[in-house]
C-alpha cells in the first residue's frame, strides 16, 4: 500500500484493493478494459498461488478482444485500482471464513 499525494491510501495489490473497496481494472493497448470485483479476483489468484501485486498480476491476464482477432495472447498494458462499481465482473467469491483468515494474517 502507498499514499497518494492527497493523503489517500492506494492499494498496490489485489488483496489491498479488496480491503480498501476498490475494483481492479485491466486495460489493453486496444482500449478494451475489464473491471473485476477485487475479493473475487484475489480468491482466483490465492487458490492458484499467484502473486497478486499489480505489476506481477498483469502477466496473468490477456485480452479476449485481441485474442479472438489476432489469435494470440496480448498482455494488458495497465492494471490499476478503480472505485468499486455496479458492473464489476464477479468471479466466484471466497467463503467468508477464508476471507476473514486472510484479513487477520495481515493485521
Ligand atoms: Zn486488446
Per cent of the chain over pLDDT 90 is 89
Does the pTM surpass 0.75? The reply is: yes
pLDDT of amino acid 106: 79
CA of 14 to the centre of ligand 1 (A): 21
CA of 27 to the centre of ligand 1 (A): 8
Kindly report the CA angle at 106 between 14 and 54, in degrees rounded to 5?
A: 20
CA of 104 to the centre of ligand 1 (A): 37
Find out whether 22 and 81 touch, Cβ atoms under 8 Å. Answer: yes
Residue 107 clears pLDDT 80, i.e. is over it? no
In angstroms, the CA 96 to CA 39 distance is: 11
pLDDT of amino acid 27: 98
CA of 91 to the centre of ligand 1 (A): 20
Contacts with 14 (C-beta within 8 Å, 6 or more apart), sequence order: 24, 38, 41, 42, 45, 52, 54, 57
Amino acid at each position: 500500500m502507498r499514499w497518494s499525494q492527497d493523503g489517500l491510501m492506494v492499494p498496490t495489490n489485489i488483496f489491498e484493493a479488496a480491503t480498501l473497496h476498490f475494483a481492479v481494472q485491466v486495460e489493453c493497448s486496444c482500449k478494451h478494459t475489464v473491471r473485476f470485483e477485487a475479493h473475487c479476483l484475489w480468491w482466483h489468484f490465492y487458490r492458484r498461488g499467484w502473486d497478486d501485486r499489480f505489476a506481477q498480476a498483469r502477466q496473468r491476464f490477456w485480452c479476449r478482444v485481441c485474442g479472438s482477432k489476432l489469435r494470440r495472447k496480448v498482455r494488458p498494458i495497465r492494471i490499476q485500482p478503480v472505485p468499486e462499481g455496479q458492473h464489476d465482473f464477479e468471479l466466484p467469491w471466497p467463503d467468508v471464513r477464508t476471507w476473514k483468515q486472510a484479513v487477520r494474517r495481515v493485521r
